[in-house]
């Protein structure tokens, strides 16, 4: 397995980054779509349209991307011995938080499709910034490796 990882390391790393970008794009899109759904009446044609769009976003972008990011990320981390490095522990904690955010937003979106509005438009706008903050912190940790 180590030989395979050595031979394909840069390809795996490229895949990890590509799917991380897809995942982040989906995480940026989901709260925006929820904002567009917010004023629609439950059961309306508009609500059904946003339900379909959010479902496709989850099915085509969010779910596959988070799976690939985690699998490739853990393979890469094991190959470079990152589990013993402080910067990686911080990154892992942030990625776990981002994964939790992903799941929480999916639950909130499903509640909205059902007619509930658990988050205000202002809250959706604020929560929509969360992935950007986590992304910035992760990039600094990976590039600078401050500890």
Question: Does the pLDDT of residue 2 top 80, yes or no?
Answer: no
The torsion of the CA quartet 61, 62, 66, 68, rounded to 10 degrees, works out to: -20
Query: What integer pLDDT is reported at residue 6 of this predicted model?
Result: 84
Domain spans in the chain, listed from the N-terminal domain onward: 2-144
Residues 101-136: tens digit of each pLDDT: 999 999 999 999 999 999 999 999 999 999 999 999
Q: Is 88 in a helix, a strand, or coil?
A: helix
The reply to whether 79 sits in an annotated binding site is: no
The reply to whether 102 sits in an annotated binding site is: no
Which residues touch 141 (CB under 8 Å, ≥6 apart)? 87, 88, 90, 91, 94
38's enclosing H/E stretch is none
Query: What integer pLDDT is reported at residue 147 of this predicted model?
Result: 94
Which residues touch 16 (CB under 8 Å, ≥6 apart)? 68, 69, 72, 73, 76
The overall pTM is greater than 0.85: yes
């Amino acid at each position: 397995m180590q030989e395979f990882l050595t031979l394909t390391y840069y390809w795996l790393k490229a895949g990890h980054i590509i799917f991380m970008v897809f995942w982040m794009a989906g995480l940026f899109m989901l709260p925006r779509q929820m904002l567009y759904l917010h004023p629609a009446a439950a059961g309306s044609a508009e609500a059904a349209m946003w339900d379909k769009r959010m479902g496709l976003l989850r099915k085509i972008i969010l779910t596959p991307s988070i799976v690939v990011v985690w699998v490739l990320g853990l393979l890469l981390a094991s190959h470079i011995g990152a589990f013993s490095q402080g910067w990686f522990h911080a990154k892992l904690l942030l990625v776990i938080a981002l994964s939790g955010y992903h799941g929480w937003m999916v639950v909130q979106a499903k509640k909205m499709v059902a007619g509930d509005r658990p988050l205000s438009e202002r809250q959706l706008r604020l929560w929509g910034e969360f992935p950007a903050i986590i992304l910035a912190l992760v990039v600094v940790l990976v590039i600078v490796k401050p500890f």
